[in-house]
Amino acid sequence: MKRWLLGFIVLVAVTALAACGGKEASTTDTKDIKIGATAGPYTDMVNKAIKPGLEDKGYKVEVVTFSDYVQPNKALSKGDIQANLFQHTIYLETFSKQNDMKLTGLIAVPTAPMGIYSNTYKSLSDVKDGATIAIPNDPTNAARAFNILEDEGFITVDENANPITISEKDITENKKNLKFQPIEAGQLPRSVESADLAAVPGNYALAAKMDLLSALALENMDDQYRNVVAVTTENKDTQLAKDLKAVVKSDEFEKIIDEEFKGFGKPKWMESK
């Protein structure tokens, strides 16, 4: 009987220790995180402007760099990373729906805008009638290009058209008779050499070592096109989510953006601070 009682006590003690050990591991895991980003400016933004702030809050942060726009969301959905930064809201919502994932954007961050670049003209006021402009051949980025051209007075768009889905058929007036040349977005930086004008998305401009501030015009970007820090929907109210938002809203974050990410357009919440 004594031997049985001693064995029972040992078993209870071991179970209690295991439970305590599991709890400690869980607590440690919440502070040991991985954040994914695509190679280039957004990996830099995580490393320079987000990681330090989280480390000040006690996190151990590993930045995972991806080379495409598919794996960061797959890794997030599987729990291999705890957050990512590389995509805008429209892409996030579309990707999540198409792949049956529950992902949520926490907060928009400063984002490299699309710009109109030219080696032919020094100013948009110099653009001649019939000039060619290379534009992205995908609907989302093409709409952004047409929005810039409308803002700059080159075209008039049907007032009933959805700004997110504008296409050439929605143009009611082409004041300079511009000729549109749809090109795969990644090739647009090269098109600056051949076309009179080129509408180049910010991420591709930076990848090609182009200076955002050399653009003849920069996009007045809608916040739906600004990149967001994303997490799984089930984690959107966790302490990590709250801390991520706090870091991005900090004065230190904005200072680094102003110093090292010149030309990046700020979201509305930041402009109203």
pLDDT digits (tens, 9 = 90+) for 159-196: 999 988 999 999 999 999 999 999 999 999 999 999 99
pLDDT greater than 70 at residue 18: no
User: What is the CA 146 to chain-centroid distance, rounded?
Assistant: 21
Among the four given CATH numbers 3.30.420.40, 3.40.190.10, 3.60.21.10, 3.40.50.300, the one describing domain 115-220: 3.40.190.10
pLDDT greater than 50 at residue 5: no
pLDDT greater than 80 at residue 11: no
The pLDDT-based confidence of 29 (bands split at 50, 70, 90) is low
Cβ–Cβ under 8 Å, residues 92 and 105: yes
Least confident of 21-30, 103-112, 176-185: 21-30
- Return all residues near 40 (Cβ < 8 A) that are at least 6 apart: 203, 206, 207
Give the DSSP H or E segment for 156: strand 155-157
Query: Using one digit for the tens of pLDDT, what is the confidence trace for 50-84?
Result: 999 999 999 999 999 999 999 999 999 999 999 99
Relative to beta strand 227-232, strand 83-88 is: antiparallel
pLDDT at 273: 75
Give percent of the chain above pLDDT 90: 86
Instruction: Look up residue 173 and give its amino acid.
Output: E
Tokens at residue 154, please?
């080159």
Relative to beta strand 197-200, strand 103-108 is: unpaired
Interval 116-126 mean pLDDT: 97
Q: What is the rounded CA–CA span in Å between residue 12 and residue 6?
A: 10
Give percent of the chain above pLDDT 70: 89
Tokens at residue 270, please?
């930041």
Judge: domain 20-111+224-271, CATH 3.40.190.10. yes
Interval 241-260 mean pLDDT: 98
pLDDT greater than 70 at residue 120: yes
Domains 20-111+224-271 and 115-220 share a fold: yes
Which value, in Å, is the radius of gyration of the alpha carbons in the chain?
24
Q: What is the rounded CA–CA span in Å between residue 168 and residue 174?
A: 10
3-class DSSP assignment, residue 12: helix
Q: What is the rounded CA–CA span in Å between residue 229 and residue 96?
A: 14
Domain boundaries, the chain: 20-111+224-271, 115-220
Q: What is the rounded CA–CA span in Å between residue 117 and residue 59?
A: 41
Cβ–Cβ under 8 Å, residues 81 and 72: yes
Mean pLDDT, the chain, whole residue set: 90
pLDDT greater than 80 at residue 8: no
